[in-house]
Amino acid sequence: MKTDTIATAPIEGQAPGTSGLRKKTRVFMQPGYLENFVQSVFNAIGGAADKTFVVGGDGRYFNKPAIQTILKMAAANGAARAIVGRGGLLSTPAASNLIRQRGTDGGLILSASHNPGGLDEDFGIKFNTANGGPAPEGVTDCIVTETKRIERYSIVDATDLDLGLIGEQQLGGMVVEVVDPVADYAALMQTLFDFDKIRALFASGFTLRFDAMHAITGPYAKAILVNTLGADPASVMNAVPREDFGGGHPDPNPTWAKDLMGLVMTDLGPDFGAASDGDGDRNMILGRNCYVSPSDSLAVLTANAHLAPGYADGLAGVARSMPTSLACDRVAEAMGIAHFETPTGWKFFGNLLDAGRATICGEESFGTGSDHVREKDGLWAVLLWLNILAERRQSVAEILSDHWKTYGRNYYSRHDYEAIPKDKADALMAGLRDKLSDLKGQGFAGQIVTGADEFSYHDPVDGSTSARQGVRLFFEGGARAVFRLSGTGTEGATLRMYLERLETDPDNLFLDTQAALAPIRDAAKEACDIGLTGRDAPDVVT
């Protein structure tokens, strides 16, 4: 077996600060391209010699060959051990757990998350550090620098390993340990939740539909919800992971999880519905004929987490990304716990979780999680909801309406304008930034602006600052509109417009969300000059 050094293919257009690399699959398949990123990770962290890494992905097209390449490169770079999920499969939260539990030096996770998979779709890779979380900006910036100056990479010349076999194999000087992707994660869940209570809930006739969207969570949901907790086997739909996710977007929202919505959003639906994304870190929560917005879900979980054994001592604090609604802040204030506002992206929660200052975190983009790992965790959110339902024995709709009556309701919606030409999206954001200081006092579509700024985050743990994290407009009456460009797309630019309005009048708690936000939507569109995008209406509304 010989070790070679071979020239790499350049990586174009990767912005510093992004958590990993997400591109079209064909781009990743160019000779030397994936290799450039992987070698750059090793270079950026001071080499791979004698280190242990977790490697796994969401099973999308190109997952298997990419893992073989990564293992051969880790071996050539002198790594001591690689821990791989059987078949190359690991959900993002399960990978985070393994990185932590086994005391490793980090992990390489292969996924483009909720983006579709296939030869003509998307692929991605990211590096997580030893705390189990996405590499912080300092590390990702180093990786980007390395990708630009790299000339060669190292790889051992060996035949592919059989990753279907649990146990240890040798690859050059490195041990490859293939593990059951579900077992350690399921054991962790059992330490957090009252499985007996949830089992009793199912035994009492409680019904569930979980949509794994042909992505990574199928095996996890079957093992935990069906085999361990006793849910009906038919409760888990689209449970077999496929390389192309059955041709769909593995994105758990009302637009892409249409089949599930159809089954649950009726008076004849099951008691509970949920879905997870490609790599298992996102979740959508539904009750019978009841949609729970991710921001509301975060607030309800914050208010009720103490009902689960893992959180019985209460929460240190709750953190949300800036565009996420302020619903959880209202809960935190009422409970007397800390609350934090961070930029979009899970990596910004890492320091707060490591420092024990936040216990639960969430994003409006269907992401919720806690300090049990350092990624958001779709099945964790489902299990916490089930534990709460098992304790309260009320419907999801009752819990939600109770919540609004207690704390008020933050009407909330995100409007996405997708695949707009990048120069037009940049012009819109530049236009907003230019006029920020003049907006106060101006009226748009009848709404008066009371303040406008661009969010800049000062990390209270490490003192770092992350600027330009999104433009915010505040309106009379406490409404808010936020504008930012997506950092995860692979085609053109996506403008995200986040709309929010607090309602405390008990007579107005049950309005249609879009109707309740229409005045703010109109004002936001006028203020940002939406015509600049060449569009008048969003592509996706969540």
Among 296, 363, 377, 459, interactor with ligand VG1 by CB under 6 A: 363
Q: Which is nearer to Co ion, 244 or 398 (CB)?
A: 244
CA dist., res. 210 & res. 217, Å (int): 10
Return the number of the residue (81 or 480) whose C-beta is nearest ligand VG1.
480
| Residue 490, Cβ density class (10 Å: 0-12 exposed, 13-18 middle, ≥19 buried) | middle
Give the shortest CB-482-to-ligand VG1 separation in angstroms. 11
**Residue 325 touching ligand VG1 (CB under 6 A):** no
Q: Which of 311, 346, 455, 474 is the binder for ligand VG1 (CB under 6 A)?
A: 346
**Angle at 96 (CA atoms; ends 92, 98), nearest 5 degrees:** 115
Applying CB under 5 A, which of residues 52, 113, 129, 147 lies at the interface with Co ion? 113
- Give the nearest residue (CB) to ligand VG1: 113
Residue span binding Co ion (CB under 5 A) among the ranges 129-137, 185-193, 224-232, 270-278: 270-278
251 binding ligand VG1? (CB under 6 A):
no
Contact of residue 363 among Co ion, ligand VG1, none (CB under 5-8 Å per partner type) = ligand VG1
Instruction: Give the containing element (helix H, strand E) for 438.
Output: none
Total residue length of the chain: 542
Nearest to 538 by CA among 419, 404, 449, 435: 419
One of 87, 136, 343, 345 touching ligand VG1 (CB under 6 A): 345
For Co ion, give the closer residue by CB, 126 or 484: 126
Q: Which is nearer to ligand VG1, 132 or 270 (CB)?
A: 132
Q: Is residue 58 near ligand VG1 by the rule CB under 6 A? A: no
Q: Which is nearer to ligand VG1, 63 or 488 (CB)?
A: 488
Give the tokens for residue 500. Answer: 């929010």
Order of all β-strands in the sheet with 208-211: 236-237, 208-211, 272-276, 283-287, 290-292
Judging by DSSP bridges, how do beta strands 208-211 and 81-89 pair with one another? unpaired
Residue from the set 137, 279, 329, 364 that interacts with Co ion by CB under 5 A: 279
* Per-residue tokens: 413: 């919606």
- 80-106 burial, b for 16+ CB within 10 Å, e for fewer? bbbbbbbbbbbbbbbbbbbbbbeebbb
* Options 113, 370, 413, 542; binder of ligand VG1; rule CB under 6 A: 113
Q: If you ran DSSP here, which 8-state letter would residue 282 be given? A: B
Q: Does 122 bind Co ion (CB under 5 A)?
A: no
CA dihedral 297, 370, 489, 427 (to 10 degrees): 70
Distance CA 264, CA 91 (A): 25
Residue 401 CA to residue 542 CA, distance in Å, equals 20
Q: How far is the CB of 381 from Co ion (least distance, A)?
A: 13
Return the residue of 277, 296, 500, 503 that touches ligand VG1, per CB under 6 A: 277
Q: Which of 91, 111, 113, 276 is catalytic?
A: 113
Tell which one of 344, 370, 447, 542 touches ligand VG1 (CB under 6 A).
344
370 is catalytic: no
DSSP state of 136: P
Among residues 129 and 488, whose Cβ is nearest to ligand VG1?
Answer: 488
**Residue 282 binding ligand VG1, by CB under 6 A:** yes
Nearer to ligand VG1, 137 or 277 (CB): 277
281 binds Co ion (CB under 5 A): yes
According to CB under 6 A, which one of 91, 304, 365, 413 is a site residue for ligand VG1? 365
Q: Which of 510, 320, 310 is nearest to 401 (CA)?
A: 510
In 162-316, DSSP assigns E strands to 167-171, 174-179, 208-211, 236-237, 272-276, 283-287, 290-292
Binding residues for Co ion (CB under 5 A): 113, 277, 279, 281-282
Binding residues for ligand VG1 (CB under 6 A): 113-114, 277, 281-282, 321, 344-346, 363, 365, 367, 486-488, 496
Q: Give catalytic residue positions.
A: 113
